[in-house]
Amino acid sequence: MQARTFDAAGGTEKDPPAAVRMVGVTKRFGAVVACNRVDFSLQRGRIHGLLGENGAGKSTLMKILIGLVTPDAGEIYVHGERRIILDPVEAATLGLGMVHQHFSLVDALSVWENVALGEPGRLDPRAVRARVGEISDHFGLDIDPYATVGDLPAALQQRVEIIKCLRRDPSVLIFDEPTSVLTPEESWQLFDSLRRVVTDEGRAVALVSHKLDEVLQATDTATIMRQGAVVERLVTAETDAAELARAMVGRPVALRSDGALRAAPRSGQRPIEHDEPVLTIEAAAVRVGEQRELDGLDLEVFAGEIVGVAGVEGNGQSALVDVLSSLTRLHSGAVRVNGRAVPTGKSGAMAEAGIAVIPADRHDSGIVLQMTVAENLLLVHPEQVSAKGLLDPGMMSEHAQRLIDEYEIQCEGPDSPMWSLSGGNQQRVVLARELSSRPLALIAAQPTRGLDVGAIEYTTGQIRRAASNGVGVLLVSSELEEILDLSDRIVVLSQGRTAGAMARDDVDMERLGLLMGGHHA
Amino acid sequence: MGGFVEALGDILTSESSYVSAVSFAAFLAFGAVGEWVAERAGTLNISIEGMLLAGAFAAAMGFDLTSSLLVSLLFGIGAALMVASVQAQMSHRLQADQFVVGLALNILVLGLAGFLDGELDPATRRAPTVTIPLLSDIPLVGRALFDQSWLLYLIYPLIPACWWLVYRTRWGLEARSVGENPQSADASGIHVNRRRRQAIYVAGITCGAGGTYLCLAVVGSFEDSIVGGRGFISIAAVIFGGWTLRGSIAGCVLFGTVVSFRLSLPALGYQINNQIVTSAPFLLTIAGMALFAKRVRAPDALSRPFVRGIR
Amino acid sequence: MTASVVRALRPTRARRDALAGRLSEVVGLYVLSILGALALSAVLVSATGGSWRSVLSALIDGSIRNPGRWGTTIGGAIPLLTIALGTIVNAKAGLVNIGQEGQLLLGGACAAIVAVHFDAPGALVFFALAAAGVAGGAVWAGLAAALRYWRDVPEVLTTLLLVAVASQVVAFGFSTERLLLAPLSEGQGTQVQQTLRVPEGARLPRITLFGNEFPIAAFAAVILAAVVAFILARTVWGFRLRMLGSNQRTATRAGVRPARYGITAMLISGGLAGLAGVFMLTGGDFGGYRFSPGFSINFGWTGLLVALVARERAGAAVVVAFVFACLWTGSGFLAATGVERRITDVVQASLVLALLIPPAVLFIRARRRAAALRRVRV
């Protein structure tokens, strides 16, 4: 064991200094410690995996490295020199580049224009295009420099992002969950390119991931984090999935199939009543221009069960949630609640029919930042505290105080503005409002995205509780772990339709992967 | 109907109607090219009206003081730049609402120009024409385009210069990215608000020239109603043109032509409803937007302020 | 329960201390900005050979000090406040209406047509012309709203462009006696572009208080302000309107139909601008109960600025409308000082610009402090 761990400080003294060394980095969000005295280093010429479950602190650590998050304590050394990195621009000048989960591209501009964006000096379109060609040849990242970025699929947009990053010649490249928008096939292509970046040019690469397969296949060394702390440092070639999984979860884990990781096998199945589904989606189709966002989707959710919708992002998830939020009209097909058809695209109809929604982006369609907590708790059903169209302020703050206590929302009171709350507490407001309306079905879209560990636990707990109270839950998530953890039944969404379904207990990871990639299996 | 066709024929063969159409169109174009740059960078700059008026008044003052067209032009540009800098600093440094700033500026400049004109009363006269040999002999349009004050000729290089600035320079690339997706531009290390301010300064420069042209080459004297809402027609032209330079200039030419009908038709002995002609540019723009707004793409972040960390 | 109360109280006390310090900063900034704007105007007057003291004194004389003047000022504040209230409604719905000038003009024109051509008992004429005025303004704003929701045309632009169209529509109205133009009366050489007077029975009663006379519309406008404030704060409709204005997607999911609420808000906004036209036409402080092409005297723009300076609060709009009306009535007394009366436009606009500065500076300072804190923590 001792033999194959390596030193965080960057090996023996004869080695050149590590490309990046982080020492004793600590970051707290309220009561939660996202990073607890973390030591971390990256070596030139190596791909380094940063592995951990959701909320283990790995994203926070990388955000600290490129200046998006400021640490409470700790030191950062870049090529042996101590640096204070306050924003991404500073990080870029130090040679640190990051490819984010969400890209920083301008849709309306062409590929080469995006690549040229943010560089100093005269603009030389021909030279930029030539360089784009060179980079794409060299690393196997094929792309048309004249294409408009907004027209490209997610995988190609990621390529543009990578090329843009490489064009600045960074010595350190960080990839944050790069495969969440990719099919398994595209992922292997990406890792192939990464290998070339490292071996041909001697750069250091960090691959942030929660997927065991990826880390095993693509990395040289790996750091594993659990609950904000580093628990293990490994040389990938000398380890296996079982050991990684044990380190990541903190106890021996039974692997169901090739690379399938189970955090905690669910104990005890809830009884599922199979008389009539609470929520039915029939042959749903949504078109935006030429694009088919949903293309004949069929889905059923029964009372008391959690149905996980798995799939690579951009396969119709947002259209599905928008339809169930009354934000998009179905081109054809139907949505039924308890067998009764609900008009689609009619403001408030879905909420009226008993469909509660935790949106993927709260700020987009879940809360109103400029309004108070009390008002946000009443957005959907103000009639609870009003008579004849007049609001009763007394009842309003009473209602709010009750929910604030019940859901333990940390705020200065019912009248504090929503923007003054932390992300986790804003999510609690959404949960409180949606669950207190006694819904028949709950749509939870990426419910834990961007939350810290405590908030993740709370949110998943509430979702479980809702299901055990008889609510039919539809969990839409790009996190396979989350889906495996919570769902009774898994449906795979691919290109706007259901590619397949399976019960949680019969999950075959290989088949799941193929389905997500758009293959029929 | 026959009468209308006949009237149209008379207009098309009358040299003077081309002269008035070109002078209107050119004036609109001075405002529109600058507005186009500003809008591509994300500012719906309604103080264009004030910039044009400030340019016109300062040019009149410059001419009163020095009798030099060049100095007048510099005065005009300087004054319009002052208006532009208030707009730029307030909307893209202090993050005040750009429409409020623009409206207040228009009223301020109108008040200032009226006040100072009453107090100082600058004396001006129309600028002489500079005839370009050969080109000015082109039948019908030759005189309108090439036998004018050199102030008009400024618009000829100005249009391609603005195109080059926006599409062929790094500054232009950055300005466009700032108008489309300021968050991404910021993440790429571009000073979003600085680029936006600079784009407004470009509008200030073109409007300064436009105001000078209007005051010294077209009208010949200053009065506070000299711009009279035509800055808004320049804005309309940019929108009418679907945020492309070519379209904006086409809009200016169209609106200039329509507006010139008001002068040329009665002169040729035809009656036309004055009100319809005067409101035509506005109605055309509204109709154009109603027809094409769903298809034409405005810069994505147009009129949305940018503060890092707030969407 | 108690735990959360304790939690809620603790930060509040700390905040209160911070607030006391912050408050003096806020007041100081506002005072500085206003003084700055006034100083700028004073410099302008002095530089052109005038005396700023006499200008200031004339403004005060004209607006409040001289006998009967504050009554006239109230008369000016009525339409400004009415327009501002409409602006507040559309702003709360997240819509930008900058075409009040046109809506006011058209509302006034519609009211004038009814007033001149509708032959009926006085009160009936008043209600008919009021309805016509409100409808005229509402249609003009509603047009922009309809285009926004059905054709995706930005309402900022349409409302602005429709101002120019409105004045042409009015000009057309003056081309014929069947609409607006008053018939040539005996002893009159040329036809003046104005309407006949509103019949006496259809005028708003004027009341006299301490030697100051103003139309009873003043009470109507203040009551309207209270109503608007109440509707926005305390009714479900107002709640939903504010929701729409702040976050359209959240509101849509919660059952607010954007088109219905948005168009209603714009109709109210335009309708109130039209009502301001009615008040101006029948109130007696403007143009002697006649309508003319220059009828709106930039009050549409000024009313819009009132709403913006009042930061979209109905109560504050009452005060701001009065202050702006003071500048208008005061400017009438400037002739005696020999200073061009347009200086009041300068004062007004620079006041608006100056009042934009303090909130912006506070916002930026708050961000700077946060950034400085970050640096210290590293």
Instruction: Specify the range with the lowest mean pLDDT, choosing from A359-368, A387-396, B19-28, B134-143.
Output: B134-143
CATH, domain A279-369+440-516, list 3.40.50.300, 3.20.20.150, 3.40.720.10, 1.10.1040.10: 3.40.50.300
Cα–Cα distances (Å) from B269 to A410, B19, C172, in that order, read 78, 18, 21
Residue C217 pLDDT level (bands cut at 50, 70, 90): very high
Between vectors from CA C258 to CA C256 and to CA C261, what angle results, nearest 5°?
80
ipTM of the complex: 0.85
Nearby residues of A287 by Cβ (< 8 Å), 6 or more positions away: A293, A331
Residue A192 pLDDT level (bands cut at 50, 70, 90): confident
The DSSP output letter for A110 is B
Alpha-helix runs per DSSP H in A366-518:
373-376, 393-406, 423-436, 453-468, 480-486, 509-516
Q: Within a domain: residue B134?
A: no
| Nearest CA distance, A181 vs chain B (angstrom) | 19
Give yes or no for C2 touching A (CB within 8 A): no
Fold of A45-63+93-249: Rossmann fold (3.40.50)
Answer yes or no: is pLDDT of A317 > 50: yes
| Nearest CA distance, A341 vs chain C (angstrom) | 17
| Rg of chain B in Å (alpha carbons) | 20
Helices (runs of H) and strands (runs of E) counted in chain B: 14, 2
Hey, are the CB atoms on A118 and B188 less than 8 Å from each other?
Answer: yes
Q: What whole-number distance in Å separates Cα of residue A71 and Cα of residue A73? A: 5
Which residues in A lie closer than 8 A to residue C242 (C-beta atoms)? 371
Residue C377 pLDDT level (bands cut at 50, 70, 90): very low
The residue with greater pLDDT, A246 or C290, is C290
Give yes or no for A105 touching B (CB within 8 A): yes
Q: What whole-number distance in Å separates Cα of residue B89 and Cα of residue B193? A: 9
**Inter-axis angle of helices B230-240 and B15-40, nearest 10:** 70
Cα–Cα distances (Å) from B276 to C168, C171, C180, C347, in that order, read 7, 10, 18, 36
Tell me: the pLDDT tens digits for B219-239? 999 998 899 888 988 998 998
By C-alpha distance, the chain A residue nearest C248 is A365
Tell me: the pLDDT tens digits for B264-280? 777 666 777 778 888 88
Q: What is the mean pLDDT of residues B182-201?
A: 91
Residue range of the domain that includes B237: 2-123+144-292
The residue with greater pLDDT, A9 or C58, is C58
Task: Return the pLDDT at A269.
Answer: 46
Residue B297 pLDDT level (bands cut at 50, 70, 90): confident
Residue showing tokens 């592995």 = A51
Hey, are the CB atoms on B289 and C158 less than 8 Å from each other?
Answer: yes
Give yes or no for A26 touching C (CB within 8 A): no
Asked if residues C337 and C54 have their Cβ atoms less than 8 Å apart, the reply is yes
Q: Within a domain: residue B307?
A: no
* Tokens matching residue A238: 């000398």
The DSSP output letter for A268 is S
Q: What whole-number distance in Å separates Cα of residue B84 and Cα of residue B50? A: 9
Sign of CA dihedral A405, A410, A412, A416: negative
Which residues in A lie closer than 8 A to residue C8 (C-beta atoms)? 411-413
Burial class (CB in 10 A: 0-12, 13-18, 19+), A42: buried
Task: Return the pLDDT at A494.
Answer: 86
Q: What whole-number distance in Å separates Cα of residue A434 and Cα of residue A470? A: 15
Answer yes or no: is pLDDT of C140 > 90: yes
| Beta carbons within 10 angstroms of residue A332's beta carbon | 12
**Inter-axis angle of helices B230-240 and C155-173, nearest 10:** 130
Cα–Cα distances (Å) from A450 to A257, A360, A418, in that order, read 29, 10, 17
Asked if residues A107 and B181 have their Cβ atoms less than 8 Å apart, the reply is yes
Partner-chain residue, chosen from A92, A106, A164, that has the shortest CB–CB distance to B180: A106
The DSSP output letter for A180 is G
Instruction: Specify the range with the lowest mean pLDDT, choosing from A277-291, B29-43, B268-282.
Output: B268-282
Asked if residues B281 and B25 have their Cβ atoms less than 8 Å apart, the reply is no
Instruction: Specify the range with the lowest mean pLDDT, choosing from A117-121, C161-165, C309-313, C364-368.
Output: C364-368
Q: What is the mean pLDDT of residues B230-255?
A: 91
Nearby residues of A342 by Cβ (< 8 Å), 6 or more positions away: A335, A336, A349, A350, A353, A355
The residue with greater pLDDT, A1 or C193, is C193
Partner-chain residue, chosen from B90, B104, B279, that has the shortest CB–CB distance to C349: B104
Domains in chain C: boundaries: 62-182+193-204+215-341
Cα–Cα distances (Å) from A314 to A14, A155, A318, in that order, read 48, 10, 7
Hey, are the CB atoms on A380 and C253 less than 8 Å from each other?
Answer: yes
Between vectors from CA C290 to CA C284 and to CA C292, what angle results, nearest 5°?
130
Residue C371 pLDDT level (bands cut at 50, 70, 90): low
Asked if residues B166 and B235 have their Cβ atoms less than 8 Å apart, the reply is no
Residue A520 pLDDT level (bands cut at 50, 70, 90): low
Which residues in A lie closer than 8 A to residue B174 (C-beta atoms)? 117-118
Instruction: Give the CATH number of domain C62-182+193-204+215-341.
Output: 1.10.3470
Task: Return the pLDDT at C274.
Answer: 97
Domains in chain A: boundaries: 45-63+93-249, 279-369+440-516
Answer yes or no: is pLDDT of C193 > 90: no
Task: Return the pLDDT at B207.
Answer: 97
Task: Return the pLDDT at C85.
Answer: 98
Asked if residues A455 and A427 have their Cβ atoms less than 8 Å apart, the reply is yes
Residue C373 pLDDT level (bands cut at 50, 70, 90): low
Task: Return the pLDDT at A256.
Answer: 34
Longest dimension (CA), chain C: 87
A&C contacts, CB < 8 Å: 99
- The pTM for the full model equals 0.85
Q: What is the CATH number of the domain that holds B11?
A: 1.10.3470.10
Tell me: the pLDDT tens digits for B146-167? 888 899 999 999 999 999 999 9
Domain A45-63+93-249 matches domain A279-369+440-516 at the CATH topology level: yes
Residue B4 pLDDT level (bands cut at 50, 70, 90): low
Residue C21 pLDDT level (bands cut at 50, 70, 90): low
| Nearest CA distance, B146 vs chain C (angstrom) | 32
Residue C374 pLDDT level (bands cut at 50, 70, 90): low
In 3-state terms, chain B is what percent helix, strand and coil (to 5)? 75, 0, 25
pLDDT > 90 fraction of chain C, expressed in percent and rounded: 54
Give yes or no for C35 touching A (CB within 8 A): no
Q: Within a domain: residue B303?
A: no
Answer yes or no: is pLDDT of C4 > 70: no
Task: Return the pLDDT at C22.
Answer: 72
Strand duo A332-337 + A279-288: pairing:
antiparallel
Task: Return the pLDDT at C5.
Answer: 39
Q: Average pLDDT over chain C, rounded to whole? A: 88
Q: What is the mean pLDDT of residues A147-167?
A: 86
Q: What whole-number distance in Å separates Cα of residue A238 and Cα of residue A265? A: 27
The residue with greater pLDDT, B56 or B271, is B56
Q: Within a domain: residue B175?
A: yes
Q: What whole-number distance in Å separates Cα of residue C152 and Cα of residue C147? A: 6
Helix (H, G, I), strand (E, B) or coil at A289: coil
| Beta carbons within 10 angstroms of residue C4's beta carbon | 16
Tell me: the pLDDT tens digits for A426-457? 889 999 999 999 999 999 999 987 676 677 78
Q: What is the mean pLDDT of residues C139-148?
A: 95
Residue C11 pLDDT level (bands cut at 50, 70, 90): very low
* Tokens matching residue A59: 């994203």
Give yes or no for A368 touching B (CB within 8 A): no
Q: What whole-number distance in Å separates Cα of residue B126 and Cα of residue B63? A: 10
Give yes or no for B300 touching A (CB within 8 A): yes
* Tokens matching residue C251: 């509101």
pLDDT > 70 fraction of chain A, expressed in percent and rounded: 89
Chains touching chain A at 3 or more Cβ pairs under 8 angstroms? B, C
